[in-house]
Amino acid sequence: MTDIVESLEATTLLDELTRLPGREDPYPLYRRLREISPVVRAGDGALVLTRHADCVATTRHPKLGHLPSHMMEFVRPDWADHPALHQLFTSVLLSNPPDHTRLRRLVSSSFTARRVQALRPRIAQMVEDLLEQMSGEVDFVQALGFPLPVSVIGELLGIPEPDRAQFQTLVRDWTQVLEVITPEVLETADPAAATIREYLAGLTAERRRNPGDDLISALVAAEEDGEKLTEDELVTMAALLFAAGFETTTNLLGNGLVALLRNPDQLESLRLQPGLATSAVEELLRFDTPVQLLTRVAWDDVEIAGVPVSGGERIVAYLGAGNRDPERFADPDRLDLARPDNAPLSFGGGIHFCLGAPLARLEAQLAIPALLARFPRLALAGDPGRRDSLAIRGYTSIPISVG
């Protein structure tokens, strides 16, 4: 049985992680939390986990899941009236079995590894086209980090190219509710979610009339055991896939590039050995993951990390901390692109393992080596601008000089 250490220092560290200075480099804070106790209780009562093994167990435990939608009424009675909340809490991202099982089965039948790999030549061309436009000093996020993933997921879903750029601000406004739900946040999140939904509903209707060779058309036609996605589920799925399709990958590319520029020996090894790309992307995900934490709710009385947990309690697994656990990774604070057995926690696990993981990996495996090969004098041209977020780690801007 693991004892939960009541520590003023642990409370202070958890508080620091909610502030931008602490988020700039959270890894020393994670390390100290793990040294105090691998399991601590936050001020709101949630159990906080920082060990790799405990994070893995949390993602796979059959009695842990998301807050059931009917329980949302106790948290916020009017949740279903808010487009931003309805669109998230009825999606495959935050649903539970049996709804999750059915939704994931239907989308998985269309969003296949074969469909992702078929995009490889097109992604490579997109990368080349974007690199061709870069010269002098540019903001990496605006030059490649955002336009590449949004173009890829737009291509996959069948969203016309001129319509894609508008979604960067819309998705960021909508997904604020993953961090905190306040009237101020909902003022911007609700109209953003409604705009996304209205656009995708129109596009889905068009694909129903005139199917194409895209994922939305495939989802319209998807059927398993006589079941199909409802119109509401179809639009919600398209919105989630589009948002997740570029948000996480943008941060993977940005975090990875900054890590390489701050570790020039590793950058040079990848430049000279582009065949390292697969291992390199896994290590970059481990070293500075875009998704820093996940939250689960206990559906019943269970034991997590040796601690008794009552039904209804929340568990917060810091994936970023688990990825730097010395019990799992030797010298975890060192970036080593050739590190063996470096599978990260970044895409979660169990039944909620990220559907888009193969696509995100493919984009990074193609884009990062191509960037390094094209610009041998690549360097930071200023301090990157940090995104102010606890769960999603990334940059709003990365000034670089491409020579």
Q: How far apart are CA 199 and CA 253, in angstroms?
A: 27
Mean pLDDT for 72-99 is 85
Q: Are 355 and 116 in contact (CB under 8 A)?
A: no
Q: How far apart are CA 283 and CA 13, in angstroms?
A: 26
Report DSSP letters for 347-397, one per residue. T--GGG--TTHHHHHHHHHHHHHHHHHH-TT-EE-SPPEEP--SSB--EEE
Q: How far apart are CA 170 and CA 166, in angstroms?
A: 7
Half-sphere exposure of residue 209: CA atoms within 13 angstroms, side-chain side: 5
What's the mean per-residue pLDDT of the chain?
92
Q: Are 355 and 383 in contact (CB under 8 A)?
A: no
Does residue 330 sit in helix, strand or coil?
A: coil
Q: How far apart are CA 119 and CA 153, in angstroms?
A: 10
Q: How far apart are CA 369 and CA 367, in angstroms?
A: 6
Per-residue confidence (pLDDT) for residue 6, from 0 to 100: 63
Least trusted range by pLDDT, from 73-77, 237-241, 377-381: 73-77
pLDDT in tens, 148-171: 999 999 999 999 989 988 888 888
pLDDT classification of 360: cutoffs 50, 70, 90: very high
Q: Are 160 and 179 in contact (CB under 8 A)?
A: no
Kindly tell me if the per-residue pLDDT of 1 is higher than 80: no
Kindly tell me if the per-residue pLDDT of 80 is higher than 70: yes
Better-predicted residue by pLDDT, 227 or 60:
60
Q: How far apart are CA 295 and CA 286, in angstroms?
A: 19
Per-residue confidence (pLDDT) for residue 70, from 0 to 100: 66
> Of the candidates 279, 258, 276, which has an alpha carbon nearest to the alpha carbon of residue 386?
258
pLDDT classification of 74: cutoffs 50, 70, 90: low
| CB-based burial label for 226 (10 Å; 0-12, 13-18, 19+) | exposed
- 45 phi and psi, to 5 degrees? 95, -10
- Alpha helices for 92-182 (secondary structure H): 99-108, 113-117, 120-132, 140, 147-157, 167-174
Q: Are 399 and 137 in contact (CB under 8 A)?
A: yes
Q: Which residues pair with 40 in a beta bridge?
A: 48
pLDDT in tens, 367-401: 999 999 999 999 999 999 998 888 899 999 999 99
pLDDT classification of 53: cutoffs 50, 70, 90: very high
Percent of the chain with pLDDT strictly greater than 70: 97
CB contact burial 256-270 (16+ within 10 A = b; e otherwise):
bbbbbbebeebbebb
Percent of the chain with pLDDT strictly greater than 90: 69
Q: How far apart are CA 256 and CA 281, in angstroms?
A: 8
DSSP code of residue 208: H
